[in-house]
Structure 1
Amino acid sequence: MSRVREAFGVEVPLRRLFEGPTVAELARAVETALAAGAPAPDGPIPRAPRTLRAPADTALPLSFAQERLWFLDRLEPGQTLYNLPLVLRLEGELDAAALAAAFGEIARRHEALRTVFAERDGEPVQVVLPAGPWELPAADLSGLPAAAREREADRLAAAEAARPFDLSRGPLLRAVLLRLAPGRHELLLTFHHIVSDGWSMGVLVREMGALYAAALDGRPSPLPELPVQYADFALWQRRWLTGKVLERHTAYWRERLRGLPAETELPADRSRPAVASHRGAEHRFALDAGQVSALEGLARREGTTPFMVLAAATLALLSRLSGRDDLSLGTP
């Protein structure tokens, strides 16, 4: 919908995409908005080219999402709720120096990965650190017996994922290389959510493959320079979402969330603690091919996504267990 707003200069609510999920229906929604003279809140969204960025010595604001995470970190320092761990298994001969060079280039390309969060006059600001060589610590577990090796690899991965970040000092991306055997490695990556998300992790993995191959061959980066950085977006967002524009969006969500219960009471076998311990657990299960096919078929018939079908099923279950029909569901 942001591309629609950028191309046509009109605001089309996101719900229109789900009410009419075809190109023809979306085109009619755009035509209706144009005929009604419904401009975007600030006209078409401008791209934020590098030339519009504040000088490096100017305080860069946080995006609203970043500020929320910064506030939560200040409220409960040392929590690891927003650590994003990722374990990559690498098969075949590995050049650790080339891998470190690839990481260095990724950090150079993506300023968010070398950003820390300072406080100036009581307000958080982004500070982009200079690019430099990337040090890739490594641990060689290949001398351990197979069972002990796997246990130690799991222990190191869990310990790395549970290690807190210092948002004011960084780095907010950590990488550790484990050598399990000749031609077998694990790469432990841990991000803080303030500089990354699930989508960004996929981008990093794809770019790492391209940059590692280039480093092995002694070639420069094959990837084009990025036209914008996350700080560009944060600066644009802060300039746009202010005054009446911010008031309108805030009023909308206050109305949508008005009366929403603060928590969902479930028939648990023990009482809820006064202070959240965050000592939760996860239950993993798999859907067989038939179930996946049925899920995707239902989503197609309803003009929605498999995620929304699963979210609806989860809410239906929570409604049955809690006896409530007004529920909230948080997702990453």
Structure 2
Amino acid sequence: MTASPPTIADKRAELRDRLLRQRRQQQQNSDQITAEPETSTAPLSSQQSGLWLAAQLARAPGYTLVNATWLRGPLDSSLLRAALDGLIERHQSLRTSFPEQDGAPRLTVAPTGQLWWEELDLCRVPEPNRRQRGLEALAAWAEQVIDLRHPLLRTLLVRLDTGEHLFGYLQHHIVSDGWSIPILVSELSELYRAAAEQRSPRLPAQTIQPTDVYRWQRERLATEPVRQRLNRWRDQLAGMPQLRFPTDRPRPAVASWAGHQVVVDLPAELIARADAVARTGDRLPFAVLLAAFSVLMRQRSGQHDLALGTAFSGRVRTEMEPLIGYFANTGVLRIRTAAEQGLDELIGHCHDVVLDAEGMQDIPFADVVNAVAPARVPGANPLFQICFTLARGAILVPALDLEGVEVEPVRVRAPGSRFDITFQVTELPDGRYRMEIEYATELFDEQTIHQLAKDYRTLLALMLASDAVSELTVAQLQQAAGLPSPAAAVASGDRDEVGAGPVDAGPVDAGPVDARPVGKEPVDAGPAAPSGPAEPDALRDQVARIWVAVFGVTGDFDDDESFFEVGGSSIMAVRLRAQLLSEFGIDLPLADIFAGGSVAELTDYLSARLAEVS
């Protein structure tokens, strides 16, 4: 294949990546990640613990990464399988699974990998329908829910003709992230070409593996400099209100993660203006886009203090760059707006907020949540519910490079939503942009999201009009856009307000979960068998003892106080479940705990279950 000349987007991305690598290199000598011999089991990272918990709460494909490609030409499927085997052998994360032990997950690394390979032959399907049938099969395959106890990379090869295939690969987010996809594609391509040319593959050296990174993260969190930074971040986020964004339907107690996506193009000239405004003020282009989005969120919610989320790579050391793994971290953006605030001032504020959050990306989001300790709401994501991100095309549009095979990326995605709304501005390789808006279908109608995209484009266009940035205030921009006032926007229709997003995937401890009941030593016999009904008062006392041990409550407490009312968190839910399983031999669904379990409710539930088995 002939390489395309670098675009403006490529050059800008290359410059930013070079500056980031220089910054990482300056930190290397004093804070290196060292390699240790690979072991079969290890503690989960903070981010992985949160995703494992989320997977237990909702069996949905909200945390899978799906990519697919048309392959036209003389594909050797045996070489493709061999290349995938080599990729799995090379990357520890692709040999990782998460079985439970004593009610808690354990990161388990297999010494040799297992390729999950599926083939579908559609050659006999009549020609007019063949490609459509292939795309339908791919879409159905992408909806699968991955069991975390089994291989977490899945592949599908659909054969349409001897010279035409559709290839899909799917990973669970717990072992991979968006920044891992280009690595997977590049190395899979090199392994295939090397096999075809009968030579050794030329791949970058790996000095560490993901479990080394997770251990390094835990050790750093115990150091005083990092604790001081975490405390400063806690102070910055203290008192931040939840975003009251109106929804079309009331929020369920436990989110299903069902989702959809709306895609809308952004005019190239509009982005060119955003780049020009950024250059003039020496700001990030992301800050310009974020400023317009902040005005939209202010208008929709009627709030001036806004809590938004975003994503960072989390790859703060150069030795992490060649790894496939889950290192991406969530950042919190606290944007403060005012009616008389000038747009240039708002852009500068967004720029500073993004840089500050980027500098904190080495501290796991779950630990930030633990430090801030926000008020918890059942079915709620802590700190924020709406994400705004900017993604470069090299991450989202990977293309395989196979010997003699023409490739064409296929747009496919898992039908889930990780937050209430994820509003992503995507930069394509040719310099164009588009808005990709992922939303929770149990909360929003598609029409609502299309209107949101339309209003954002209107605000961005007005903000970037000639001299508007230097002359207009936030209130004047809202008025010029002709959007409803904040009060009218929130009150319109019979709409709920966003009190929170999907079920909390944190906070979680960085280290392994000790799921044993207090005062008990581990035993090999596993959980107790259901022991039959107990007297109501005795059963209540047993549940109350476990409740006290998990939550640390002292003195008298109300049996009707819910899980969240006594300060429950994700890790406490896991421990409560594990202790109830050990004590009574009954596995209580985590979703029931998050839905508002109390001593009284747990006693009633256990009494009914024990009566069933007696």
TM-score by length of 1: 0.78
Specify whether residues 301 and 157 from structure 1 end up closer, same or farther in structure 2 by C-alpha distance, changes over 3 A only.
Answer: farther
SS in structure 1 of the partner of residue 263 of structure 2: coil
**Residue 303 (str. 1) matches residue 273 (str. 2):** no
Determine the structure 2 residue equivalent to 1:79.
60
- Asked whether 1:285 is paired with 2:261, we answer no
Provide the residue aligned with 1:46 in structure 2: 32
1:127 paired with 2:108, answer: yes
**Cα offset for 1:111?**
0.6
Unaligned runs of 5+ in 1: 10-42
The 2-side partners of 1:146 and 1:307 are apart by 45
Distance 1:132 1:158 in 2: 26
Alignment counterpart, residue 175 of structure 2, candidates 190, 195, 216: 195
Pick the aligned partner of 1:155 from 115, 132, 136: 136
Alpha-carbon spacing, 1:123–1:239, altered in 2? closer, same or farther (3 Å): farther
Q: Deviations over 1:70-116 (max 9, x none)?
A: 22223x14221111111122222100000011111111111101101
1:274 shift after superposition: 4.3
Structure 1 residue 173, shift from structure 2 partner: 0.8
Q: Pick closer, same or farther for the CA change 1:270–1:194 going to 2, 3 Å.
A: closer
What residue identity is the alignment partner of 2:309?
G
Check whether the contact 2:89–2:113 (CA below 8 A) recurs between aligned residues: yes
Q: What residue is the counterpart of 1:317 in the other structure?
A: 296
The AA in structure 1 aligned to 2:301 is: S
The amino acid that maps onto 2:86 is: E
* Residue 272 (structure 2) pairs with residue 265 (structure 1): no
Superposition pairs for residues 216-227 of structure 1, below 5 Å?
216-227=196-207
Measure the CA separation in 2 of the matches of 1:230 and 1:279. 30
Summarize deviations over 1:183-210 as a string: whole Å, max 9, x none.
2222111111111111101111111111
Work out whether residues 115 and 151 of structure 2, in 8 Å CA contact, stay in contact via their aligned partners in 1. Answer: no
Where does residue 56 of structure 1 map in the other structure?
39
Aligned mates of 1:279, 1:198 — CA distance in 2: 20
2-side partners of 1:275 and 1:77: how far apart?
Answer: 8
Counterpart residue identity of residue 248, structure 1: Q
Taking the TM superposition and a 5 Å limit, the aligned residue runs for 1:244-255 are: 244=224, 247-255=227-235
Separation in structure 2 between the aligned mates of residue 98 and residue 90 of structure 1, nearest angstrom: 14
Number of aligned positions between the proteins: 292
Q: Which range moves more in the overlay, 144-153 or 282-291?
A: 144-153
Letter in 1 for 2:306: L
* Partner secondary structure for residue 194 of structure 1: helix
* SS of residue in 2 equivalent to 1:137: strand
Q: Secondary structure at the match of 2:98?
A: strand
**Kindly tell me: are residues 136 and 278 of structure 1, through their superposed partners in 2, closer, same or farther at Cα, counting changes over 3 Å?**
closer
Which one of the candidate residues 193, 212, 232 is aligned to 2:212? 232
Provide, for residues 287-317 of structure 1, a one-character-per-residue CA deviation record: whole Å limited to 9, x for no partner: 2332232232223233344333333322221
Aligned to 1:326: 305
1:115 correspondence with 2:96: yes
Residue 97 of structure 2: SS of its match in structure 1? strand
Cα 1:178–1:211, aligned 2, differ >3 Å: closer, same or farther?
A: same
Answer whether contact 1:80 1:162 (CA < 8 A) is retained: yes
Secondary structure (helix, strand or coil) at the match of 1:164 reads coil
How many angstroms apart in 1 are the aligned matches of 2:242 and 2:206?
41
Counterpart secondary structure, 1:282: strand
Gap change, CA 1:297 and 1:145, over 3 Å in 2: farther
Q: Deviations over 1:96-145 (max 9, x none)?
A: 00001111111111110110123445653321112246353211223323
What secondary structure, in the 3-state scheme, does the structure 1 residue paired with 2:303 have?
coil
Instruction: Work out the CA distance in 1 between the residues paired with 2:116 and 2:267.
Output: 42
Is the contact between residue 60 and residue 258 of structure 2 (CA under 8 Å) also seen in structure 1?
no
CA distance 1:82–1:8, shift in 2 (3 Å): closer
Which structure is larger by alpha-carbon Rg, 1 or 2? 2
Question: Is 1:213 matched up with 2:232?
Answer: no
Instruction: Provide the residue aligned with 1:35 in structure 2.
Output: none
**Correspondence list, 1:167-178, <5 A:** 167=148, 169-178=149-158
Q: CA deviation at 1:181?
A: 3.0
Say if 1:130 and 1:199 are closer, same or farther in 2 by CA, change over 3 A.
Answer: same
Secondary structure in 1 matching 2:115 = coil
Moved more, 134-143 or 202-211: 134-143
1:90 partnered with 2:109: no
SS of the residue 1:329 aligns to: strand
- The 5 A counterparts of 1:133-144 are 134=115, 136-144=117-125
Secondary structure of 1:215 counterpart: helix
